A and B are shown apart, each in its own frame.
Chain A
Amino acid sequence: MEKFTKFTSRIAPLPIDNVDTDQIIPARFLKTISKVGLGDQLFCDWRYDEQGNPKPEFILNKPEGKAAQILLAGDNFGCGSSREHAPWALTQYGFRAVISTSFADIFRGNAVKNSVVPVEVPRDAQERLFKAVAENPEVTVTVDLAQQKLILPDGSAVEFPIDEFSKHCLLEGVDELGYILQQEDAIAAYEAKRPLTINALA
């Protein structure tokens, strides 16, 4: 995983609550056995019409949306299915952060494993941002993960929460599996005292 660095970008506003993972990447694209090639299908059914042509009114088809590395969404982003194809599609499109007032648990976990930072901000900051980008689509914000700060267009900073471990993994490019594998002794010790087990191979 690449190290996550501080960056500044324009914002693609998507003022919709409860954006579910079926919208982020519809199920018919989950037949792939690869992780790549999903960026074009991000938000497919909102983005393209019946003939597959881009719908001009959808944010990712507007110049300001195309230039953004940050998605600004309504509440409870990423609810629904556990598909990790959702953050894969977001990163492959070019998003590095999603701003919302809340994130669904599984999406949050999947996002940080794929270098997409869930930036959880209070409602008033979210509203200010929607307003700012509506007035001027070219405004930018900065995501400073090390400081856990989102710098708004007016220069003010909003803190956002992220657990220490995910932050460390993102900033250092650490992969979780490597970390777990190092705990072989603890795992073996636990296995030695499990009281019950099943045997699917029986």
Chain B
Amino acid sequence: MSKANGAARPRTIIEKVWDNHVVADREGAPTLIYIDLHLVHEVTSPQAFSGLRERGLKVRRPELTVATTDHSIPTHDRSLPILDRIAAAQIDQLEKNCRDFGIKLFGPHSENQGIVHIIGPEQGFTQPGMTVVCGDSHTATHGAFGALAFGIGTSQVEHVLATQCLLQRKSQTYEVRVEGDLKNGVGAKDIILNLISRIGIGGGTGCVFEYCGSTIRSLSMEERMTICNMSIEAGARAGLVAPDEKTYEYLKGRPYAPKGAEWEKALSLWRQLPTDDGATFDKSITIDASSLEPMITFGTNPGMGISITAPVPDPATLSDPLERDSLAKALRYMDLPSGKPLLGHPVNVVFIGSCTNSRISDLRAAAGILKGRKVSPGVRVMVVPGSHIVKEQAQAEGLDRIFKDAGAEWREAGCSMCIAMNGDQLQPGEYSVSTSNRNFEGRQGKGGRTFLASPLTAAATAVTGVVTDVRTLL
């Protein structure tokens, strides 16, 4: 506890983690903070390694650094060569960089390969109270463990590789309280899409969220990861959940989690992390979980979300001219009328995957809907597990059979059509329901149109071929 003026000031978990990582606080510069875990992938790291070579620097703490190949890696049969020469060169470059600098790499053929934000928790690298960074904006995922986890640019990747430190300004604290029981068919993805639709995609700019309240406590670790994952979609660099027994239970026994006496020591430190009674936040919002319905986005940013039964908003109702134009532009791109719900809108593709929703519980949820049913003719359904381990687990449970019997594609782990860098992509004009996190213009392929939703909604849509309220199939 900090004892400024002799009295312990109640602090939020966000402040505690920050205070624990201050290396130096010099006049006229941001705070220098220490980074406990640095995750690296092929897309945002090559220029950082080049920078190290140019300066003749080493990686300061290779044992705190973990790399994987996920963004540009194909999700077809891994025994086949990578046809995209530029993507192959980028992956080769990461392999070389990891060799040269002594970094652990979960490469294309590793048993543990997967999306960077899936494998961190899966391997037990991600732990409560840590600072975690990655050259990737969805690093906030790791906040589900009570870590302060955020995305950085490539210059900062170089800073962390070289010094294990970052210059950072303290963020504001933003309490996101979710209370009440979720209705059947409504889950973590719907909570976060609802939050973003309320506060907007810039609503959390300059802030770190703490998700709290009875609903958050009732969620599993995987569901908490889904929520924290999309913090950046509301503009917050990080979002976290205080650790509790579920967190410890999830972590215990994972390959890189502390063991024996170390575990006991870690546990006693982790138990001090939750926000103190009486601590205050700069901002706060409360969401009544019992009022939520399945959510879906209709536009070209994740804030353009509605309840699945609600009509697409009408630009004419907006008074601000720029906002009106932006909504009109989004609806033009999506080629959608306003005033009608999306229900019944045909789709070409359903994508179940990404660091938001590709963990085993997501696949189980989707399989629950697809079991004994068939994918609607003409709809391409891609199921892309988040990691090789998730894939194996799903196969052990027979989920792959359910997907394949239904007529869905069962693929290798990676980012896939979330970012459409690896050949998995929409064609111009196509519509998808996707469990990923971004619906920006062209995000899933040039000219493609994305509706973001939960794995349940995606699976229901796969069955009918049109945007569907999953509650009609439960």
Contacts and interface: CB of A to CB of B under 8 A. Distances in A.
Interface of A: 15-18, 20, 22-23, 26-28, 30-35, 45, 50, 74-76, 79-84, 102, 104-106, 109-110, 113-114, 163-165, 168, 176-177, 179-181, 183, 186-187, 190-191, 194-202
B202 A104 contact: yes
7 contacts: A31-B90, A50-B428, A80-B232, A109-B156, A113-B156, A176-B155, A180-B162
A202 B256 contact: yes
Given A50-B428, A196-B129, 11 more contacts: A22-B440, A32-B90, A75-B202, A82-B137, A105-B235, A105-B237, A110-B155, A165-B30, A176-B159, A180-B32, A200-B62
Contacts of A194: 34, 36
Contact of B158 (A74, A105, A177): A177
A113 B163 contact: no
Nearest to A113: B155
A197 B64 contact: yes
Contact of A82 (B55, B86, B136): B136
B288 to A, nearest CB: 27
B156 A198 contact: no
A15 B137 contact: no
A191 B428 CA distance: 51
Contacts of A202: 63, 256
Nearest to A166: B30
A45 B44 contact: no
A51 to B, nearest CB: 13
A102 B205 contact: yes
A33 B90 contact: yes
Contacts of B24: 183, 186-187
B421 A27 contact: yes
A177 B163 contact: yes
B419 A104 contact: no
Contact of A102 (B30, B154, B202): B202
B265 A196 contact: yes
A88 B269 CA distance: 42
Contacts of A32: 46, 86, 90
Contacts of B104: 200-201
Contacts, number: 214
Nearest to B85: A31
A112 B131 CA distance: 23
A183 B51 CA distance: 19
Contacts of B103: 200
Contact of A200 (B63, B89, B262): B63
Interface stretch (B289-297, B364-372, B441-449): B441-449
Contacts of B419: 27
Contact of A183 (B23, B303, B326, B420): B23
B137 A180 contact: no
B93 A33 contact: yes
Interface in B86-103: 86-87, 89-90, 93, 102-103
Contact of A31 (B86, B156, B438, B443): B86
Interface stretch (B164-172, B182-190, B277-285): B164-172
Interface in B223-271: 232, 235, 237, 256, 258, 262, 265-266, 269
Contacts of B47: 33-35, 84
B325 interface: yes
A198 B346 CA distance: 48
* Listed residue (A16, A28, A194) with the most chain B CB atoms within 10 angstroms of its CB: A28
Contacts of A27: 419-421, 443
A201 B101 CA distance: 12
B62 A106 contact: no
Contacts of A186: 23-24, 32
B13 interface: no
A80 to B, nearest CB: 6
A201 B62 contact: yes
A28 B90 CA distance: 12
A110 B237 CA distance: 13
Contacts of A190: 23, 34
Contacts of A15: 322, 325
